[in-house]
Structure 1
Amino acid sequence: MTFKGVSPIDVVSALLVGLLFWFQPTPFLIPFTQLPIERQGLGWFANLLIGLAYAVPMAFRRTHPVPSALTILCGAGVHLLLEPANITLADFAVVAAVYAVTVYGPVWAHRLVLSLTLLGSFFIAIPTLTMGGAIRNDWATWGPFLGIVTYIMAVTLAVYGLALARRSQLAKMLSLMRIASDAQAAAKTERELAVLEERSRIAREMHDIVAHTLSVVIAQADGGRYAATKDPEASTRALATISDMARDALKDIRSIIGVLRESEGDEQPTLPQPIERDLETLVRNVRDSGVRVSFVRTGQSRTLPVGVGNAVYRICQEAITNSLKHAGPTPHITVLLQTTDAALLLQVDDDGRGAAAPSDGKGHGLIGMSERASAFGGSVTSGPRPGGGFRVLASIPIPHLDNSNRSEHD
């Protein structure tokens, strides 16, 4: 737990270092040395400043490791000048600074602090050479010096090694956290794209079903109204066609809604989606409504990848709807389905006014047909025919698949 980025543990450590420096009566005795050193007295102002230089940075050694370590080293340097060879427990703040700047600071900073600390061990030990006056070339003089240097270096390097291990551990943890965060972001993006794609697919399905059905219903209603006075049976047939088309559209809409409910745990069965083999039924239903429409199929029937058959059916349905809406009152529509070695070709022609809307005002129409074809690597081209009328040509590549992999409803 941290408070404004400062750990309570570091705050307690800072207080402890300050108390040790201000109230420790005797210096710390370095092992393997027997130096009759008594702590010299510092003035109250120097004692206060050095203690603060040791204590305050300890509270910020994690949040600001470089300024903290350099401030502690400066305090230790001043202390060394004023009290040579007098090492107190508070001086272990230097070791703590080395650890913190190595774990949390940049590489250059912890290398600099380590070098200054190791260099400082020699300056700490130098006063031992002059304890007896002149420097003598014997073990009694050099033994304490080497003991102090060795001890300080050993402790510093051991702490430095532990800090490097901790730094590596934290780096791995941060890397794993970053990978997990990136994975979560990627998964979220994929879910959002999946939702958008599903919404687009449902919008196309609803548009194709509703627009086609309403176009046929309108044609039947207009024809039945004019024929009611002259041929009552024709108006009856028109009403029957309207009823059948409306029921089929309702079934399709319920099927789409059923797919949406599956995510909510509803196990309602859904209707099979129409495929290219249902084009004859589609053309027959439109023809029964009084529209002149013909269907021609060439080439040998082949196995199609899953989803291609439904895409071809919906493209044909939308192309017929487009002709009913824009080709004029009595168009002649021709549907040609051709299977080649490399692609499945669908061509829908009419002999109407030769104009078609690029969309229905909501982003569907011809745009929706192109989206369906492009989902399988195909394309849709459309435009006026030479001599009048309008043509929609869809081409979808089909690989050679084994017939055993064919789905009954694609």
Structure 2
Amino acid sequence: MEWAGWRFGGKDVADAAAAVVVALLIRYAIVDPPGPSSPLPTWLAWPVAAVLSFPIALRRRRPRAMLGFACAAAAVATAAGAVAAGAIWLSFAPTVLVLYLVASTASLIWSAAALAACLTAAATAILTFYMQVFPGLEVGTAPSEIAPAWPVEISVNAVLLTAAWALGAVVRWKRDTTARLVRHLAESAVSDERRRIARELHDVIGHSMSLITVKATVANHVADARPQEVRAALAVIEQTSRSTLAEIHRVLNLLRSEGEPQQDHLPVPGMADLPELAAHARSAGVEVDLTVREEAELPPAVAMSVYRIVQQALTNVVTHVGPTRCTVTVDVGGREAVIEVLDDGPRHGRPPRPKHGGHGLVGMRERVKIYGGAFSAGPRPEGGFRVSARLPYGLNGTAT
């Protein structure tokens, strides 16, 4: 519902209803107070009650302004004697409700200053009432339900105002704590995503550049003697470069913000792409024997992790060992994927090429760690190198 540019919701309606209820209570207390009656005409009880409770209805719109209005109105009404002797706390009830909202939304320093101002105004107004107005009130024939006394009035108002402020401050603290926790989780999610994208780029670029380097080296050595091999090597380089650019394009699309136009996503690599990996390694001089036993279809996320682990293992073979024989076994079943990559080591006793960085093994280990699996990598007693990984997964492809 809208009126004059204001939009009213359920909370506004609830505040308006609360203002009406408080106005009725204040009016009833003024007409029939527990202590001596007010010297003002009875008909003034309605406008006084309406003015005192009005800030409750607009406290969400102008909390600070309504707090000042409520406190000032209660203080003036109390000092003028237009309130219920023995139940002055009802006059400050709107101030209590607005102070709670201010304490739950404003800064701690500002709300504490507002609390101090309200306490001072209430104490001053009550003392003025009991020193100047109360002695002139007519004492009723019936004894008072509550014996009016300024220490009791000041204490009750002080307790209510302080309790409202403390409750609002606690609500604000919990809200701020929750917001900080949400921001921390969001930042952690962003960091995890960045690490994942970095692993993707490392795997894509590392595998492709290793293959391109090997084929370029071959082409350079046989350029004069065997030009046909040069053309074949250049064809492999061209094909690998195109596929690498496509994969990099897919990964970098993940970095786009939601407001930027997204291009069509390329398919995520998986189990069906393993033979192409083996073919790339063979073109670099590695005899790859690929065996895939898939009793159940892997979820896409697990299949991509299997693909990346095999890709990185073959990249290490091409980069650090060179032409050799390599066996790749992927066994899927029983809610887990088991990967084993074995190579025979350099041929003719040639020492392996020096490693640079070592990020490949780290990336594979991190992928396995995500699923709570087991990873091992190291030299074989009979020569060569062995990489083994086990990825358990749940029904939806998550870690078990």
Give the TM interval when normalised to the shorter protein. Answer: 0.5 to 0.7
Verify: 1:365 aligned to 2:360, yes or no: yes
Which residue, 274, 281, 284 being the options, matches 1:289?
284
Unaligned runs of 5+ in 2: 1-61, 80-84, 86-112
Helix, strand or coil at the partner of 2:268: coil
Contact 1:359–1:367 (CA under 8 A) maintained in structure 2: no
Which residue, 326, 345, 349 being the options, matches 2:342?
349
Contact 1:358–1:366 (CA under 8 A) maintained in structure 2: no
Amino acid at match of 1:221: A
Q: For 1:357 and 1:225, how far apart are their aligned partners in 2?
A: 23
1:107-126 Cα offsets, whole Å, 9 max, x none, are: xxxxxxxxxxxxxxxxx9xx
Which residue, 306, 313, 337 being the options, matches 2:307?
313
Verify: 1:325 aligned to 2:346, yes or no: no
Verify: 1:87 aligned to 2:131, yes or no: yes
Displacement of 1:273: 1.1
Amino acid at match of 1:212: H
Q: Which residue of 2 aligns with 1:247?
A: 242
Question: CA 1:194/1:375 → structure 2, altered by over 3 Å: closer, same or farther?
Answer: same
Helix, strand or coil at the partner of 2:327: strand
Q: Which residue of 2 aligns with 1:53?
A: none
Q: For 2:354 and 2:393, how far apart are their aligned partners in 1?
A: 28
Moved over 6 A (4+): 146-149
Q: For 1:238 and 1:221, how far apart are their aligned partners in 2?
A: 7
Question: Highest Rg: 1 or 2?
Answer: 1
Q: TM-score, normalised by structure 2?
A: 0.61
Contact 2:270–2:300 (CA under 8 A) maintained in structure 1: no
Which residue, 330, 334, 338 being the options, matches 2:331?
338
Verify: 1:222 aligned to 2:213, yes or no: no
Q: Which residue of 2 aligns with 1:98?
A: none
Q: For 1:218 and 1:156, how far apart are their aligned partners in 2?
A: 90
Q: For 1:356 and 1:190, how far apart are their aligned partners in 2?
A: 40
Q: Which residue of 1 aligns with 2:156?
A: 160
Amino acid at match of 1:189: H
Contact 1:355–1:384 (CA under 8 A) maintained in structure 2: no
Q: For 1:212 and 1:204, how far apart are their aligned partners in 2?
A: 12
| Structural mapping, 1:250-269, within 5 Å | 250-261=245-256, 263-269=258-264
Q: For 2:389 and 2:332, how far apart are their aligned partners in 1?
A: 12
Unaligned runs of 5+ in 1: 2-6, 21-30, 32-59, 77-85, 92-123, 125-142
Contact 1:202–1:256 (CA under 8 A) maintained in structure 2: yes
| Structural mapping, 1:15-54, within 5 Å | none
Displacement of 1:148: 10
Helix, strand or coil at the partner of 2:191: helix
Q: For 1:344 and 1:178, how far apart are their aligned partners in 2?
A: 47
Q: For 1:355 and 1:384, how far apart are their aligned partners in 2?
A: 14
Q: Which residue of 1 aligns with 2:11?
A: none
Amino acid at match of 1:191: A
Displacement of 1:212: 0.7
| Structural mapping, 1:53-202, within 5 Å | 62-63=115-116, 87-88=131-132, 151-153=147-149, 156-157=152-153, 160=156, 163-164=159-160, 166-202=161-197
Displacement of 1:258: 2.0
Q: For 1:176 and 1:220, how far apart are their aligned partners in 2?
A: 66
Contact 1:354–1:389 (CA under 8 A) maintained in structure 2: no
Identity, % of aligned positions: 28
Contact 2:288–2:327 (CA under 8 A) maintained in structure 1: yes
More divergent stretch after superposition (206-215 vs 229-238): 229-238
Helix, strand or coil at the partner of 2:131: coil
Amino acid at match of 1:180: R
CA RMSD, 1 decimal: 4.6
Q: For 1:345 and 1:199, how far apart are their aligned partners in 2?
A: 27
Displacement of 1:64: 9.5
Displacement of 1:61: 9.1
Q: For 1:374 and 1:398, how far apart are their aligned partners in 2?
A: 12
Aligned residues: 299
Question: CA 1:230/1:294 → structure 2, altered by over 3 Å: closer, same or farther?
Answer: farther
Verify: 1:270 aligned to 2:314, yes or no: no
Contact 2:285–2:324 (CA under 8 A) maintained in structure 1: no
Contact 1:337–1:347 (CA under 8 A) maintained in structure 2: yes
Amino acid at match of 1:246: S
Q: For 2:271 and 2:166, how far apart are their aligned partners in 1?
A: 57
Displacement of 1:65: 9.9
Which residue, 295, 303, 314 being the options, matches 2:297?
303
1:253-275 Cα offsets, whole Å, 9 max, x none, are: 11112222252331311101101
Question: CA 1:355/1:372 → structure 2, altered by over 3 Å: closer, same or farther?
Answer: farther
Contact 1:373–1:395 (CA under 8 A) maintained in structure 2: yes
Displacement of 1:310: 0.4
Contact 1:382–1:391 (CA under 8 A) maintained in structure 2: yes
Displacement of 1:250: 0.4
Displacement of 1:180: 1.8
